Amino acid sequence: MWYNIAMAIQRVTDSITALLCRDWHRRLFDELIPLPDGTSYNAYVVAGTDKVALIDTADPRCAAEFTSELDALKLPRIDFIVSNHAEQDHSGCLPLVAQKYPEASILATPKGKEILTGLLPVPPERIRPVQDGETVSLGGRTLQFIHAPWVHWPETMLTAVPEESTLFPCDLFGSHLATSAAYADDRPRVLEAAKRYYAEIMMPFRAPIARHLEKIASLNLSRICPSHGPMHADPSWILAAYRDWVSDRVSNEVVVPFVSMHGSVAAMVRHFTNLCEQLGIAVIPFDLPVSDAGKIAISLVDAATVVAGTPTVLAGPHPACAHALTLINALRPKTRVVSFLGSYSWATRLHEQVPALVPNLKAKFLPPVVARGFPGQADLERIASLASAIADEHRCLGVLP
């Protein structure tokens, strides 16, 4: 298979070099996540006066380019290969690098060793577990390991170089973005990509990430070098964004993922949208058959309310809506209010089946509106009551005056 892979070597400091692999045409990750802007896989070389460390590797689809760039650095040796995260987009080239540098020790968390040896043909004896807070001297430069489980796997760790005020957090603070820019200079573009990345991958782990943000607050960072997307020469804004995303703050917004087969649900959604806007509530509707799942995920990061819309198919929700609700349930957004709009022709079990799809949402479930066929006047009045109830909830949350 042909891939449009481009490698670049970027000198970060006198002791840090970035190996940036841009995967320009990749459009799907994990056979699930849309990649409208491609992605990148970043690894870093940290050289002290005595020893050299490679932090993470790259996806196996760019193995040839990655090993070629390593050769271009003309390193006399690699003493340590740090595996911050065992997922294959960062560890996939690890067997090749370990074979190329047989003297190198692979450093990972104890859980990381267990997972790496299950995923890759790496001899267990080559992997040295490191403990939380442990340090390794390279001579004038120090690797400090910070265990960060559930960012977004159980074995994850972050690696800091205190002398450079630099953090290598692997997936944390990253973005699926292929760009020629080594640094996040185009802040609006990077922020949207980083929010999409957080929404799709990190949001289910909001609570542990909040704890890890507290843990690294004392590092006085001047640079963050993630393993996806551009590096952050000014980390203050991405740290502030993450603090906001993991907080309990919600916005005066209603996300409406819906599907309409014959126009009934679409009419209900239009009426609901108009009423919410009249009440001062922002509405973000998504026509599911033609919507980007990543855009839906982004909207869920802040929205106070989710109202789904679905016709009845074989007594239950339309498969497109069921799929969307299953993803929302997996992402575990901080949504506070949930309901749905529905329609049916002769029989329905929407009242039972829709709530059963989102058990992970710690939200108040407002009575839904389910119409028989096209919505009549009584249905429209019940939609008005739902919109009014949502406005009351938003006032209680302090997001609507």
Write down the pLDDT at residue 3. 62
CATH 3.60.15.10 maps onto the chain at: 5-246
CB-based contact 360:329 (threshold 8 Å): yes
pLDDT bin (cut points 50, 70, 90) of residue 262 is very high
pLDDT score recorded for residue 5? 85
**Does residue 129 surpass a pLDDT of 60?**
yes
Domain 5-246 CATH class label: alpha beta
Mean pLDDT of 282-292: 97
Reduced to 3 states, what is the DSSP secondary structure of residue 332? coil
- What topology is assigned to 254-390 in CATH? Rossmann fold (3.40.50)
- Averaged pLDDT, 279-292: 98
Predicted confidence (pLDDT) per residue in 52-103, tens digit:
999 999 999 999 999 999 999 999 999 999 999 999 999 999 999 999 999 9
Give the percent of the chain with pLDDT over 70.
99
State the average pLDDT over residues 185-195. Answer: 97
Residues of the chain with CATH 3.40.50.360: 254-390
Check the CA dihedral 56-62-67-70 and report its sign: negative
174-205 core/surface letters (b: 16 or more CB in 10 A; e: else): bbbbbbeebbbeeeebbebbbbbbbbbbbbbb
